[in-house]
Amino acid sequence: MQSFQETGDLAAFSELFARRKDGFVDFLTGLAGNRAIAEDVSQQVWTKLIDLGKRGAYRRTAKFQTFLFTLGRNLYIDEYHRKHAAARTDALGDRELSDTSGSANPGLVAVTDERSEILESAMAALPVEQREVLAMWSTGTPIDSMAEITGVPRDTVLSRKKYAIKKMRAALAAAGIEQGTL
């Protein structure tokens, strides 16, 4: 990113983008419960980074992935979660949003697998603080990075993860899926 900012090195940017884009969208999809929103947020974040580089204003104070996830999380919470919290009363709201027939990538979004649908519903029913931890866990983000991204102590992250998994297990059990049968 530094090289892109200093010399317009497109190859360096492309390599960085290729390395980080999928995990970032997967994290945002887990957080938002919706791939179209995730891709929109992701595009906005990458555009912001490009714009910062263009203006020579790109500075990062953490590991790139931590920096990227922090920007994405904050943007999602500001742009979507807070604004739509009133309208989105429960998990159904997220599931309705998941019916993205106009999505850029309908093949990935369409829920055709019942297990996936159950998993998505269980995930969507979690409070956003637990959902984001679970989304980061599923992309292999270290606990310390999760703490940095969410701005809470490490123990709080671990606690949120523990409760998120517990609630997921309960929701899956209610749907007839027990631990070890996933």
Partner 1 sequence: MNAQNDSDNSDRDLLDELKRSQGGSSRAHDSAVLAKAAAAAEDIAGRNASKSSTAPARGFAWLLPAAAALAAVLLVPLFIVDDNDTLRNPAAAVTPAQAETLASAPVLLRWPAVPGADRYVVILRDAGATEVWRSAAVTDPELSPDASALDILEAGGTFIWTVEATTPGATTELGPFQFTVTE
Q: What is the binding site for partner 1 (CB under 8 A)?
A: 4-11, 13-15, 17-18, 21-26, 29-30, 35, 39, 42-43, 46-47, 50-51, 53-54, 104-105, 108, 115-116, 119-120, 123, 134, 137-139, 143, 158, 161-162, 165, 168-169, 179-182
CB of 46 vs partner 1, minimal distance in Å: 4
Give the position of tokens 């980080």.
Answer: 20
CB of 63 vs partner 1, minimal distance in Å: 19
Closer CB to partner 1, residue 85 or residue 140? Answer: 140
Closer CB to partner 1, residue 89 or residue 179? Answer: 179
Among 157, 48, 40, 42, residue whose Cα is nearest residue 104: 40
Task: List phi, psi (to 5°) of 35.
Answer: -70, -35
CB of 132 vs partner 1, minimal distance in Å: 13
CB of 119 vs partner 1, minimal distance in Å: 6
CB of 68 vs partner 1, minimal distance in Å: 12
Closer CB to partner 1, residue 95 or residue 161? Answer: 161
Q: How many CA atoms lie within 13 A of 157 on its CB side?
A: 20
Closer CB to partner 1, residue 120 or residue 132? Answer: 120
Burial of 8 (0-12, 13-18, 19+ CB in 10 A): exposed
Closer CB to partner 1, residue 85 or residue 114? Answer: 114
Pairs from 34-38 (Cβ < 8 Å, separation ≥ 24): 34/94, 34/97, 34/98, 34/100, 34/109, 35/98, 35/100, 35/103, 35/105, 35/108, 35/109, 36/97, 36/100, 36/102, 36/103, 36/104, 36/109, 37/76, 37/80, 37/97
